[in-house]
Amino acid sequence: MPYARNDPVDLYYETLGTARDPALLMINGLGSQAISWPADFCRKFVEAGFFVIRFDNRDVGLSTKFGQFRPDVMAVARAVGNGEEPVVAYRLSDMAADAVAVLDELGIGRAHVLGVSVGGMIAQRLAIDHPGRLLSLTSAMSLIADHAGITVET
């Protein structure tokens, strides 16, 4: 099975299509595996001339799990509301770096990026932190991730 590494995380990924075609990195939402992007849906992008990459985010599917850390959403909300730094195992910026690790593993400098739900927030963070790695950005059914890594409703 193919894995990319963003120390200490191993990220399972799959590809469809021809590597010489423009890359399309698909980032899924909270708790969704790579296979949540239906194969028929992905094939439509391949038929349109894209090299499709889908992967399991950290804590999902075949990627590294952080089971020893259980998030306390209310504690995070209180910390953010009080202007404090919340205690979390990782941030959107870490997950954006995971996406870069997948691209690096495949030798891809720049890709079109499609993110849905939390994947859209990760994609936005990828654009903020690594703008030179994106050819385009599509963030669907997602909140906006601001520069501090805190989400705001629109």
Q: In this model, does residue 107 exceed pLDDT 90? A: yes
How much is the pTM? Answer: 0.89
Q: In this model, does residue 154 exceed pLDDT 90? A: no
| pLDDT value of residue 9 | 97
* Preceding omega of 8 cis (within 30 degrees of 0): yes
Percentage of residues in the chain having pLDDT higher than 90: 76
Mean pLDDT of 112-131: 96
Q: What whole-number distance in Å separates Cα of residue 62 and Cα of residue 56?
A: 7
The pLDDT tens digits of the residues spanning 49-99 come to: 999 999 999 999 999 998 777 778 788 889 889 999 888 889 999 999 999
Please report, for the domain that includes residue 63, its CATH number: 3.40.50.1820
Give the domain extent around 15: 3-152
DSSP codes of every residue in 81-149: HTTPPP--S--HHHHHHHHHHHHHHTT-S-EEEEEETHHHHHHHHHHHH-GGGEEEEEEES--EE-TTS
pLDDT level of residue 35 (50, 70, 90 thresholds)? very high
- What total number of domains does the chain contain? 1
| pLDDT value of residue 146 | 57
